[in-house]
Structure 1
Amino acid sequence: MHTNPAHVVARLERVVRERLQPRLHEPVADVEVAAWRVGGDGEPVPPAHALGATYEPLAVGATWGPRWGTTWLRVEGRVPAGERPVELVLDLGWSGRFVGGQGEALVFRADGVPLKALHPRNGWFRLTGPGAAEGVVAADGRFTVFVEAAANPLVLDAPAFGETTYGEKPGPDEPEPYRLVSAKLCAFDAEVFELLRDLEATGDLMPQLSPDEPRYWKILRAVEAALDATSVAEAREALAEALSQPANASAHRMTAVGHAHIDSAWLWPLRETRRKVARTLANVLTLMETEPGLVYAMSSAQQYAWVQEDHPELFERVRQRVAEGRVVPVGGMWVESDAVMPGGESLVRQISFGKRYFAETFGHESEVVWLPDSFGYSGAWPQIARRAGYRWFLTQKLSWNDTTVFPHHTFAWEGIDGSRILTHFPPADTYSAEVTAGELRHAVSNFRDKSVSDHSLLLFGYGDGGGGPTREMVARAHRFRDLEGAARVELGAPEQFFAAVEAELGDDAPVWAGELYLELHRGTLTSQIAMKQGNRRAEALLRTVEYLKAVSAVRDDVPYPHAELDEAWRTVLLHQFHDILPGSSISWVHREARDTYARLEKQLRALVEGPGAPGRIVGWQVVRDANRVAPTKAVALSEADRLVSDRDGSELSVDVVLDNGILRASLDANGNVQSLVDVRDGREIAAGPLGVLRLFRDEPVRWDAWDVDRHVLRLPVPLEFAGVEATGDAIVVTHRRGASTFVTTYAMEAGRPRLDITVDVDWQEREHLLKLSLPVAVHSMRARYETQYGSIERPTHENTLADEAQYEVCSHRWVHVTEPGLGVGVINDSTYGCDVRRIPGGTDIRPTLLRAPRYPDPHTDRGRHTLRFAVVAGDETQTRKEADDLNAPRLDALTDLEPLVTLDVAAGAAVIDWIKLADDRSGDVIVRLHETRGGRALARLKPSFPAAVAETDLLERDPVPVDQLVLGPFQITTLRLVRES
C-alpha cells in the first residue's frame, strides 16, 4: 500500500482540529452569567468587595471591559449527574495569537478564595472529578463561582510593534475590547485527551526524523492506522507500539522544569503583574493536584511577597508545595533585574533581600542565579554570585544575538576577577517551551557542548500571564520520557539538573572569560532617561544616607532606620527590573516610576535631615572619597582667567577661552571646543571639536525601545546653531531643531583637571537619538569602562564581527582611554549607553543622551532633561575620583565630620565602596570594599571606634577574623565590624 506522508500529515491536522478537539469537552448544561464592572480609578478591588456588588445579567455575545478595566462575573449553574469529570469552560473572547499579554481571569470560590485562572489555552475550571476544587459544588450539584476578568489589551495588535496608546487607561467612550463568546458546563473526555497527546507525540515527532530512517515510516503507518480507527480505544492501540519504543542509549537528556516567566512590569503596569502572578500560581497548584511529578520554578521574591499580601490562602498552598520541593524558589533575587546597569551594591542587595525573604518565608536558599531575560550580563557577576553563595547561573538571552553565535550552552563563566561559576542557557532557545518534538529536536541539534555533556534544561510554560505549564505540556513530557527518535525528557528541579551536569563535567567545562555582552537591545542603555537618572540618584542617596546614619548610630547612639531603608531599597530594587530600568515598558509604568523616584528622593532627603543628622542635602555635586563625605567650595575664576576675547596665538579661530590653571579650553565662534590643553605639560587633549551634539534618525527594524541598529549611526541630522554667550563662569551654546532646544554649558572649577559639560535639552523629537561627541587625542586599541566593583576593557576597533557588534555598550560613571604618558576619561551623572571608536588622530568617546522610540511608549522622554558630563585629564584613578564627585549628592555642615573608618592601603589600589549597619540589626558595622585596578593590593581597615574586624560573605555571614587584607584583582571584600562595649 502506498503511503503519502504529506497526505497523512494534512489528514491528521484536520482530524485533530475538526473531529477530536471538539469532543474533548461535550456540553452538558448551560450556566447563568452576571457581571459587575468595577470602573473608576480604584481597581482592582479585593474579592470581599466584589462578592457583595450588584450584578447584572451578561448574555453570550455581550462585550465586557473596558480596556484595562476589570469585570467580575458571577457564574451559577447545576452540575448534572454523570461519571465523567465536569468542567466549566469559558471563552472570554481571547485571541489565539499570543497567550500572555491579553485578557485573563481568576476564578474565586463564593467565600473569596482564589482557585484557578482562565487563559486563552487554559479556559477550563474543574467542578467534579480528580483535581476538582473543594467546597464549590453542593450536594445537589449547584454551584456559584466568581470570576475576576481583566480586559488587558492584546499587546501585539500593533503591527510590527508600531505605535500604540496601550500605555494608559482609555477614555469613557472607547469600545470594550472583549466579548463573552461562550460559557458552558462540559463533560471532559479523558480518553480523547490522551489520544490527542498520543497523536501530538507521534505526529510531531515524524517531521523531525529523516525519511531514510525506518522509524519515520513506522510512525507514519501507526498514525495512519490510528486515523483509520473507528474508536478512541482502537486509535490509541494503533499508536501504542510506536510510543513504547525506548530512546537510544546515547539520546540527549533534558530536565523539564515548569516555569512561567512573568515580567514584573512591561506591557502592563505593576498592579497587573500582581494579578498575573496570582493567576499563574493558582493554575500551577491546580495542575499539581493531578500531576505529582510536576516541579515549578519561580523566581523573584517580590512576586511571592505580592501573593502573600494579596491572597494569603493561595500563598499557604504555595508554602506547602515549597516544603515538598514541588514549587522551587529560584534566583534568590528581589526581582529579575537588569544585569548591567545597577551598581554593585544594588546587585548585592537584590541578592540579600531576595535570599533573606526566601530564608525567612520558606527556609530555602537558592543556589542558582536565575536571569533568563536580562539584556546582557556584567563581568562582575561571577564574583558577586560566588561570594553570595551561588553555585550556578542560568540565562537565555544570549541566543538572541544578532551578529555572532555564542559558542557554548554549558560552560564555566569567568568574571573580571577570575571567579568562575557553572553557567547554562537552554539550547531550546526559549524559557517558555511547550514540550513539542520540534523544540526537543532543536535543542539537541543546537546544543554546542556535545563533546563534554549530553544534558540540558527545558523550561516549559506560558509566561507573562499565559498561565504557566498546562496539562497538555505535562502529558507531552510524559510521552517523551523515553521515546525513540527524541531526547529523553524527565520532569525535575533546576538544582537536580545543575548538580548532575556539575558532576558530569568535572573540570572539563569550557571557559568563557569576561562579560556576556548581548548583541541586541543596545537601546535599553538609553531609553527613558528618567529611569536611569532616578536609579543613579537613588543609589547615590542610599550610599550617603546609610553612611551618615551609621555614623549617627555609632557615635551618638541614634537609632538606625532599618525599616525605612529596607523599604527604600525594595523600591529601588523593584524598579531595576529588566523592563523598567531599561526603559522598555509602556508609558503607564514609566509615569508611575517617575513619580516613585521623586517620592523616594524626598524620603531619603528627609532621613538625612532627621534626628541626629549632621547636615542636609542641597544639591548633586560634592567632593568626596570612599571614606569621607564633604562639601565642595565653589571657586570663581578671575575675570582674566575666565574669558579671553582675543586670539590665543594658535591657528584656530578662537573667540573665548576657559582656563582654570590646569586645563585651557578654547572655543570658536560657533561654540565648539577646538582645543583642550593640559597646561601642566602642554599636551593637546582634543582630537577634534569637543562637545558637539550629534543627532541621528533612529528607526529600528523591530524593537523600538530596545534596539539601536547599526544603520542609525549612519543617519546624521543637522542641528541649527542658535548662538553662544558667556554666563558667569561658563560658556553657553544653543542649538535648535524644530520644537527641540539643545543648550550646552562649558565650565571649569579651579584646581580640577576637568572640563564640565552640562547639556540641557527640551526634547520634542520622534524616532531620533542624541549623542555627545568627545574626540580625544589618545591612541588606544582598547577603552576601559567602569562596571560593578571594577572595570572592563573593550576594543575601540572593529577587527572581528564580535568587535564590531559592540558598537553601543554600557558604561557606568566613567570610560577611560590611555596611551603612554596620557590618559583621558569621560564621566557622566546618569547615562549608560556609549560608543568609543578609533578616529584619525585619536579616539571618539560618544555617550548617548536621549532616544525617542515609538513603541511601547510613543512619548518617550518628551520634555526637559539635564545631563552632566566632564572630560578628565589624568589616569584612571583621577577619572574615578571625579566620577565620584559628579555623582554624589552635595551636603552642607559636614566639613568637620571625621571618617567612621579609614582604609590604609600599603600597596596597590583599593577603595571603600559602602558603609552601613548590619542587616541582622545587631548594631555591627558593615564595610564593603574592593580592589580597583585589576591588580593586587594590601590594605588594613582602621575603625574610629573600638571594634573587632571579621571578613564575611556578601550576605554578612560566616565571619572570619582578619587583620591585613590581601586583595586580588577586582576582589570584593565584606567586613563586619563587631562593636566592643
Structure 2
Amino acid sequence: MEKLYLLCNAHLDPIWQWQLNEGIAAAISTFRTAAELCEEHEELVFNHNESLLYKWVEQYEPELFERIHNLIKKGRWHIIGGWTLQPDCQMLSGESFVRQILYGKNYFYEKFGVEPKVAVNFDSFGHTRGLVQILKKSGYKYYIFMRPDPSTEGFTDLPQIFHWKGFNNSEIIAYRLNTGYNTGFGNAAREIERYITENRDKRIAMRCWGVGDHGGGPSNKDVKDIKKLTEQYKDRVEIIHSDPEQYFNEIDSSQLPAVEKGLGPVFPGCYTSLIRIKQKHRSLEGKLTTAEKMAAAASLLKPGIYPYKELQQAFDALMLIQFHDVLAGTCTQQSEEEGIRIADYGLELAERICTQAFYTLLSGQHKADEGCIPIFIYNPQPYEITDIFTCEFMLAGQNWSNKTTIADVFYDGIQIPSQIIKEDSNISLDWRKKIAFCAKLKPMSMNRFDLRLNLSDYISQINLEYGDRYIFENEEIRVVLNMKTGLIDSYFADNMEHLKLGGCMLEVFEDVADSWLMHTNKLDTSAGCFRLMSPNEAREFAGVENINFKPVNIIEDGNVFVEIEALFRYNNSFSRISYRFPKTGREIAVSVTLYFQEKDKMVRLVIPTNMEDADFFGQTAFGIEKLDSTGVESVSHRWLCASNQNHSLVLINNGVYGSSNKEGVIRQSLLRSSGYCVHPIENRSLFRQDRFLARADQGERSYQFWLCSQPESKWIAYAERASQIKNEPPYIVSAFPSGRGRVYNKLMEITETVRLDCFKRAKKGEGFIVHLFNPLSITQTATLRCPILDIHHIFDMEPYEVKCFLLSSKVIHEVDFLENPSV
C-alpha cells in the first residue's frame, strides 16, 4: 500500500435507542468535540453529512456553528453526503429521495457555499437500484455505503468499488465500506494498522474511523495515536487525514466492474417491523404529494398564496421519520411513538394545505340549487380517473319519521350509479349520511356532483340466504366466495381462472424477536392460519345479540358494489376481512383488520394465483424490480404483481412493503410481533427473562388492498396508475360554494402512461417544477399540456427515465433534481 486516506467521521442516529432530544444533545456535543480537536490538531480533517444536525447546532449553539463554518473555509471540516439525514434506502419513494437530497444540498450551499459530490449512507439496510438515476441527476459522482456487507447472502462476491448501473442505464461509482464506519473509542490506530496489513496489495485505500452510533467522532487519544502511527509508517505508507473526494480522484474508474442490481435484501425484518410507522410514512408521502400538487394548482390561479413554509415543515416531518432506524422499525417503543407523533404533525400540516388550496380551486362553482347537496372532488392527477368514491354529508335536519332519506347523484345533469352505505357515526337516526358512487374525474380539475334527496319507504333488503358459496358476477369478472371459509375460491376474468382456492387467507409464520431479522432472509415455517369463527364466536366478537348473526355477512349491496364481511380467529387473535365486489369493473377492494396478540409471529395475506410459473415484480423508487421467487423476503412499494406470458394479477396496497413469493403465490407481509430494538449479541438471550417486555404490533392494525387481473400487455400501466390513485387519492368535500370567480378545468394534462410525481413551485419562486417518470421498459413519446401557462410540449422518455422541467409562461426548460439547468 502506497497511500491510505483516513476518513474521520461520527455516525450519529438522531433517533434509535434514544429519542430526539437526546439525539440533539449528542449531535451538539459530538460537533463541539470534533471542532476542538480540529482546532488543536492541524492535520485532522473531520467529515460529516446530514443537514439536520447542522441545523440543530445553528439553532441551539450558534457560536459552535460559526466555528464549524470557519473550519470548513480552512478545509479542516468537510461536508460529505449532503442529504438531510441518512434515511432507509429501500422503502422511500423516488420523490422522497429527491427531497432528502434537495433540501440537504440547498442548506449546505446556502450556509457554507459547498455542494458535496460524494453521497453517503453508511448505516442504511440495503439500497434500491433506483438511487442511481437520482444520484446522477442530483450532481453526485460517487456513493459510499456499508450494507450489504461481504457476509450477506447473494453479495459475498460484490466488488468493493464498482460502476453501479440504474434502471435507466445511468451509472455512478459505488464504494462499499468492508470494515464499517467506525473504530470504537481508543482503538483507531490499532484498527488502521490492521487494515494496512490486510490490504497491503492495494496501491491506495480509504479507511473510516471514529466513534459511532451515539456520536463520539474523534477522540484526543485516537488523534495522537494516529499521529504516532503516521510517523511510524512514513517510509512505507503515506497516511493522510482526508475527505473521500481525494480518494476517488486517484481511482482509475475505467477498469472497474459493473453491477446491475439493487443492493438488497438486507435485514428483511425491517420491511415489516413496526408497521404503524410504515403506514404513517406512506400516508404522509401521498398526502404531501397531493397537497403540493393542489397548492401549485391553486397558485396558478392566485399567484402569491403558495405555502412554502408549511410545505417545508411537513417535508421536514416526513424526512425525519424516514431515518433508517425509525422507518425500518428497529427503534424503541418510545421512539416509535415519537415517530408517529411527528408523522401526524406532518399529516395535519398537509391536510391544512389541501383545505386552503381546495377553496381556491373551488372558484367559479355556482351556488347549490334548492334541495341539492354538492360534492366536490379535486383530481390532483393530470389524467382522467374512473373509480368508486365515497363521501359523508349532513341532512339539513334530523329525520325522525319512519321513512329514510335516499340520494341520487348527478354529474352535469346526468344521473350516475350510487348507493347509500353505512356512515361512520353510529347514532341511530336518519341525519348523517354516506354515499358511494362511480364516476369519471377530469384531469387536474374540480369535479362537481349534485345530490338530490328524497324520502322513501325503501329499506335495503340484503339476501342472507346464500348457501355454501356466494357467486358474484358483472360484465368483466366472476368471483366465488366460500361462505364456509370466508375466502375467495375463484376469480375469473378474460376467459381464465386467476386464483386457486383460499384467496385472501391470513397465514401465520414462525418468527423471532429480532427486530432486524439479521440471521435469515426467509420466514417460511407456517404456524397455521386464521380460521373462520363459529357463529357464537362471531356474535361475541362483534358484540351483537342477533341470534342469526353469522361469521360471513353481506353488509352492503347496491348499484355500485356488494360488500361482504368475514370474521376470523387465530389462538388469542382475531381478524376482520371485507370484500367489495364492484358492479362495474374488475378491481376487488380487500380491507383487513387484525386484532393481534401473539408473540414472535409474522402474518401474511396470501394470494394463491393460478400461475405456478409466475414471475414476481414490485414497484421501487423510479423503477420496477423483479422480485425473488424462492420465498426470500423482498421489498416493494405500492404494488406487487404475479405475471406470466398469458396474464397478470396485481395487488395494490396503501402502506406495506415486505413480501415472500413462491410458486405462483403472493404472500404480502402485514406485521411482525417481534421485540422492540432487539437483535442477537453473540449467544446471549434476546430478552431478559425476569419481567414482561412489550412486543411490537400488538392490538389493532388495519390494511387496504386492491386485487385486479390484467392482460400481460397492460398490467404495468394499470399498476402504476391505480396505485398512484389509491395512495394519492382525490380530495373530496361536501361544500357549498359562493358562486363567485371563474372555473378552471384541466390545469395540466400528461400522457396517461407517464407518472407525475411532483408539481410544485420552483425553489426560487419563479415558475413551476414537474417531475415525470416513464414506468415502461420501452421509449415513449409523451405530451405535457398546461393551457394556463400556454405550454404544449412533446418529448421522448427513455425506459424508466425521470424528466424534470421548469415551467413558466410559454416557456419550458429541462432541469435536474436540484432545479438547475440540465447539462
Q: What range is the shorter-chain TM-score in?
A: 0.7 to 0.9
Partner of 2:634: 809
- Assess if the C-alpha contact under 8 Å between 2:791 and 2:810 holds in 1: yes
Higher relative contact order (CA 8 A, sep 6+): 2
- The 5 A counterparts of 1:811-890 are 811-838=636-663, 843-856=664-677, 858-874=694-710, 875-890=715-730
Deviation at 1:254, TM superposition (A): 2.3
Sort the Cα spacing of 1:331 and 1:629 in 2 relative to 1 into closer, same or farther, 3 A.
farther
Deviation at 1:442, TM superposition (A): 4.7
- Distance in 1, Cα, partners of 2:385 & 2:39: 58
- Assess if the C-alpha contact under 8 Å between 2:293 and 2:380 holds in 1: no
Sort the Cα spacing of 1:558 and 1:383 in 2 relative to 1 into closer, same or farther, 3 A.
same
Partner deviation per Cα, 1:154-175 (whole Å, 9 max, x = no partner):
xxxxxxxxxxxxxxxxxxxxxx
- Distance in 1, Cα, partners of 2:196 & 2:124: 21
Q: How many residues align?
A: 684
- Distance in 2, Cα, partners of 1:328 & 1:442: 23
Q: Which has the higher strand share?
A: 2
Partner of 1:721: 532
Partner of 1:473: 222
Q: Does 1:966 align with 2:787?
A: no
- Assess if the C-alpha contact under 8 Å between 1:260 and 1:462 holds in 2: yes
The amino acid that maps onto 1:599 is Y
Q: Does 1:917 align with 2:738?
A: no
- Assess if the C-alpha contact under 8 Å between 1:645 and 1:655 holds in 2: no
- Distance in 1, Cα, partners of 2:666 & 2:634: 11
Q: Does 1:301 align with 2:51?
A: yes
For the pair shown, which has the larger CA radius of gyration, 1 or 2? 1
Q: Secondary structure at the match of 1:817?
A: strand
Partner of 2:162: 411
- The 5 A counterparts of 1:935-974 are 935-946=778-789, 963-974=793-804
Which ranges of structure 2 fall in alignment gaps of 5 or more residues?
A: 364-373, 391-416, 421-458, 534-550, 557-561, 678-692, 736-742, 812-823
Aligned-residue identity in percent: 22
Q: Does 1:390 align with 2:140?
A: yes
Partner of 1:593: 339
Sort the Cα spacing of 1:883 and 1:780 in 2 relative to 1 into closer, same or farther, 3 A.
farther
Partner of 2:276: 530
Partner of 1:697: 510
- Distance in 1, Cα, partners of 2:584 & 2:721: 14
The amino acid that maps onto 1:673 is L
Sort the Cα spacing of 1:560 and 1:637 in 2 relative to 1 into closer, same or farther, 3 A.
closer
- Distance in 1, Cα, partners of 2:462 & 2:521: 41
Sort the Cα spacing of 1:708 and 1:396 in 2 relative to 1 into closer, same or farther, 3 A.
closer
Q: Does 1:682 align with 2:495?
A: yes
Deviation at 1:894, TM superposition (A): 10
Partner deviation per Cα, 1:314-353 (whole Å, 9 max, x = no partner):
1111111111121112111111111111111111000000
Deviation at 1:940, TM superposition (A): 2.6
Partner deviation per Cα, 1:266-300 (whole Å, 9 max, x = no partner):
00001111010111111111111221111111111
- Distance in 1, Cα, partners of 2:388 & 2:568: 31
Partner deviation per Cα, 1:436-468 (whole Å, 9 max, x = no partner):
445543576479xx7xx6333211111133521
Partner of 1:425: 176
Partner of 2:607: 774
- Assess if the C-alpha contact under 8 Å between 2:166 and 2:260 holds in 1: yes
Partner of 1:510: 257
- Assess if the C-alpha contact under 8 Å between 1:260 and 1:432 holds in 2: no
The amino acid that maps onto 2:555 is T
- Distance in 2, Cα, partners of 1:739 & 1:644: 29
Partner of 2:441: none
* 671, 675, 681: which one aligns with 2:485: 671
- Distance in 2, Cα, partners of 1:384 & 1:936: 19
Q: Secondary structure at the match of 2:262?
A: coil
The amino acid that maps onto 1:339 is C
Q: Secondary structure at the match of 1:539?
A: helix
Partner of 2:732: 892
- Distance in 2, Cα, partners of 1:708 & 1:644: 50
Sort the Cα spacing of 1:302 and 1:706 in 2 relative to 1 into closer, same or farther, 3 A.
farther
Partner of 1:554: 300
Deviation at 1:713, TM superposition (A): 2.1
Deviation at 1:688, TM superposition (A): 3.4
The amino acid that maps onto 2:115 is E
Sort the Cα spacing of 1:253 and 1:627 in 2 relative to 1 into closer, same or farther, 3 A.
farther
- Assess if the C-alpha contact under 8 Å between 2:86 and 2:124 holds in 1: yes
- The 5 A counterparts of 1:116-265 are 251=1, 253-265=3-15
- The 5 A counterparts of 1:778-789 are 778-780=611-613, 782-789=615-622
- After alignment, is 325-334 or 664-673 more displaced? 664-673
- Distance in 2, Cα, partners of 1:943 & 1:466: 49
Partner deviation per Cα, 1:594-633 (whole Å, 9 max, x = no partner):
22222322222122212644369x99x9987544678844
* 746, 749, 761: which one aligns with 2:582: 749
Q: Secondary structure at the match of 2:140?
A: coil
The amino acid that maps onto 1:900 is L
Which ranges of structure 1 fall in alignment gaps of 5 or more residues?
A: 1-250, 648-653, 798-803, 950-962
- Distance in 2, Cα, partners of 1:457 & 1:595: 40
Q: Secondary structure at the match of 1:713?
A: coil
The amino acid that maps onto 2:475 is G
The amino acid that maps onto 2:662 is R
- Assess if the C-alpha contact under 8 Å between 1:379 and 1:515 holds in 2: yes
Q: Secondary structure at the match of 1:808?
A: strand
- Assess if the C-alpha contact under 8 Å between 2:382 and 2:748 holds in 1: no
- Distance in 2, Cα, partners of 1:938 & 1:641: 51
Partner deviation per Cα, 1:894-938 (whole Å, 9 max, x = no partner):
998623222247xxx43322211111112x111110111122111
TM-score normalized by structure 2?
0.78
- The 5 A counterparts of 1:298-697 are 298-399=48-149, 401-404=151-154, 405-432=156-183, 434-442=187-195, 445=198, 454-481=203-230, 488-501=238-251, 505-519=252-266, 521-557=267-303, 559-610=305-356, 612-614=359-361, 625-627=381-383, 632-633=388-389, 654-679=468-493, 681-697=494-510
- Distance in 1, Cα, partners of 2:206 & 2:729: 46
Deviation at 1:645, TM superposition (A): 5.5
- After alignment, is 772-781 or 564-573 more displaced? 772-781
Sort the Cα spacing of 1:858 and 1:339 in 2 relative to 1 into closer, same or farther, 3 A.
same
- The 5 A counterparts of 1:271-290 are 271-290=21-40
